[in-house]
Structure 1
Amino acid sequence: MKYGRYEIIEELGRGTMGVVYKAHDPQIDRMVALKVLREDRVVSQEFVVRFLREAKAIGRITHPNIVTVYDVGQDHGTIYIAMEYLEGRPLNDVIKGRRFPVEEAVNICSQVAEALGYAHGRGITHRDIKPSNIILTPDNRIKLTDFGIARIEDPDAAQQTQAGDILGTPVYMSPEQVLGKTADGRSDLYALGVIAFEMVTGQRPFDGGNIAAIFQSITHQAPPDPMALGGCGSRTLADLILRSLAKKPEDRFQTGEAMAAALKRCLDSDSHPFPEMTRRPVKAAASKKRVLAALAGVLLTLAVAMIGIQMLRKTPPPPPLKHPPWRLRNQPPN
């Protein structure tokens, strides 16, 4: 079977929007990953628009950690995108049943953060960051894939997404996505924080028996401390992850570059992952020390006073004077 000039070799996977095949491009004799819009989605103009948006989104960017798009076309009544064929495993397969060492988790997440920073700088928000969209190559490089629901920040284009339309995979969605609010690059960095949490602890920060329970946790519950769950091994990395999972976007990292730099600093035990936040904790610690020192001084003074009182009570009174104290020693009595 062919789509355009591409000869289908085998199916690689299926998603909510399409099917991905391994295919051969005879024109330049190379293998490609061919993503084809599912036939049942073709009847929906909204999904067609989103599918074409994926090609437009990743076709605009060139980055070593983002999959390369070669071509887009139509055949058999549907639409296809020819992309770089990747050798490797999706991160969701690698994560299963293990906890990552800090250095390995930092290496993977910092690559994702840098790729997202690059895309965000060009007006592209992924909005569906999850382990299955991150391919880990044999040489431990990552490739970010599937910009199928990416939002292009094009002021001249009509808004394609309806208000309140919830996109993304529930457990990795940010609070603003759950609430149907506008998602930007900080939503992608939130999802990366969820992935980092999962990598170092072996579990997700928010979970539940159904979507409603998951959404309730995401919007209202504080995530557990990764250090308390074991496996994290780094206080600075744990603090970084918790910052990434802040409910308010303004309390998270504002750019992928900033998050990547902070991740790399986690490997330096003498540095803080986000220097701009070091002043407040240091000041708070110094203030606490001053209060404790003052309290210790008060307690010491009280202790000395109590000892003095006890000693006075046990000391016998002095003997009576033979002569009134005002008489001179050489003055005879009357």
Structure 2
Amino acid sequence: MTLSAGARLGPYEIVANLGSGGMGEVYEARDTRLHRGVAIKVLPSPVAADRESRERFEREARAVAALNHPHICTLYDIGRADGVDFLVMELLEGETLASRLARGPLPAEDALPLAIQIASALERAHRAGIVHRDLKPANIMLTEQGSKVLDFGLAKLVGADVEATRTMAGSVVGTAAYMSPEQAEARPIDPRSDAFSFGAVLYEMLTGHRAFGGDTIAQVLTSVLRDEPPLLAGQPALDAIVRRCLAKQPSQRFASMRDVKASLERAAGAPASARSRDNLTSSTCSMAASESRAIAFASPFSWSIHPKAITSGRSGTTASWPIFSTCRTRSRARSFAACRWRSATERRDS
């Protein structure tokens, strides 16, 4: 089911289609009650058709919505209108970590603050009993205020692990590269599975390469189960953290993301500074959410992307804005995961 601009889902008015894929449709919308922009993800029909699945989804979605953290994309609402089940989430301006890494690795001084923020977000979710299960660069947004982890718990809520084999091979390979060994083998998982995925993400942030490679799902999963990535040259402290996260046995990993975060702060050499950055982000995130004009959603599935070109100029042309300290060059066009930009002219007219 595709919704056109101007259509309504309860109090939400559709503005534009942002992307489509195996998990349904994502839209930019406007909350007519609070007069703010939001993003709406329409859920797949199997969830809407089965009453028991829908009730379980709603219970778990409420738990995700209770996560209040400056580095977690906020889930505002869940709803059902005209037979359509949907999620309402905050709009975010920026680019995914996957898009940033396509231009190369991050310097350690830029990667560490982001890693600390991501670890903090995971720690908060784990304390609430929520395991992400699909942490990867495409599920991390870089904004002016720092990082935002997307789709917290949604892979679990809609059973994406079961459906993953039905998607395009390339998409599954991308997800498999960040799966923990126990997840790859369909064994029970706990927060230490997210620690493994975090280690794979951190390794890629620092090197620009995936920790576990391969051209097919089988090759990638074999690498996850058996291989060790090359050493991080000249970064012994970070290499030790990454390798402990990537231990094949959960018992050999960090006991919690709190321990991961503490180790990262020690490696950074300025834990107080890292905590100050988090506090600053917390104080500004609500303002950033209300001003944002772009949304990025990610899942284990392949989305059809509709990016807006961003060009520099004057007199009614669009303009590129700095995203985060890690994005030091301005490009004439950027592709985001289900991400839509509004031009400078549109911003003035809105």
TM-score scaled by length of structure 1: 0.70
Q: How far did 1:144 drift?
A: 1.3
Give the aligned partner of residue 84 of structure 1: 90
- Deviation per CA, 1:211-236: give whole Å up to 9, x if none: 11111111112222122xxxxx4211
- Deviation per CA, 1:235-282: give whole Å up to 9, x if none: 11112111111101111111111111111211239xxxxxxxxxxxxx
Q: 8 Å contact 2:96–2:142 — kept in the other structure?
A: yes
Q: Aligned match of 2:37 in 27, 31, 34?
A: 31
Give the aligned partner of residue 256 of structure 1: 257
Amino acid at match of 2:237: T
Work out which of the two has the higher radius of gyration on C-alpha atoms and give 1 or 2: 1
Evaluate the alpha carbon distance shift between residue 16 and residue 130 of structure 1 in structure 2; reply closer, same or farther with a 3 A threshold: farther
Q: 8 Å contact 1:165–1:180 — kept in the other structure?
A: no
Give the aligned partner of residue 196 of structure 1: 202
Q: Aligned match of 1:18 in 24, 33, 38?
A: 24
Give the aligned partner of residue 323 of structure 1: none
Give the aligned partner of residue 147 of structure 1: 152
Give the aligned partner of residue 241 of structure 2: 240
For 2:91 and 2:83, locate their aligned partners in 1 and report how far apart those are by CA, in whole Å. 24
For 1:185 and 1:151, locate their aligned partners in 2 and report how far apart those are by CA, in whole Å. 13
Give the aligned partner of residue 64 of structure 2: 58
Amino acid at match of 1:64: P
Say which is worse superposed, 116-125 or 259-268, in terms of deviation. 259-268
Give the aligned partner of residue 288 of structure 2: none
Higher normalized contact order (CA 8 Å, seq sep 6+, divided by chain length): 2
Amino acid at match of 1:116: L
Q: 8 Å contact 2:72–2:152 — kept in the other structure?
A: no
Evaluate the alpha carbon distance shift between residue 64 and residue 148 of structure 1 in structure 2; reply closer, same or farther with a 3 A threshold: same
Give the alignment of 1:52-131 within 5 angstroms.
52=58, 55-131=61-137
Q: How far did 1:74 drift?
A: 0.6
Structure 2 gaps, min length 5: 1-6, 165-171, 271-350
For 2:258 and 2:218, locate their aligned partners in 1 and report how far apart those are by CA, in whole Å. 33
Say which is worse superposed, 14-23 or 107-116, in terms of deviation. 14-23
Tell me the SS of whatever aligns to 2:211: coil
Q: How far did 1:22 drift?
A: 1.1
Q: How far did 1:151 drift?
A: 5.1
Q: 8 Å contact 2:64–2:153 — kept in the other structure?
A: no
TM-score scaled by length of structure 2: 0.67
- Deviation per CA, 1:37-82: give whole Å up to 9, x if none: 1347645678756754662232121111112222111123220111
Structure 1 residue 7 corresponds to structure 2 residue 8: no
Give the aligned partner of residue 219 of structure 1: 225
Percent pairwise identity: 40
Structure 1 gaps, min length 5: 153-159, 228-232, 270-334
Structure 1 residue 266 corresponds to structure 2 residue 267: yes
Evaluate the alpha carbon distance shift between residue 40 and residue 27 of structure 1 in structure 2; reply closer, same or farther with a 3 A threshold: same
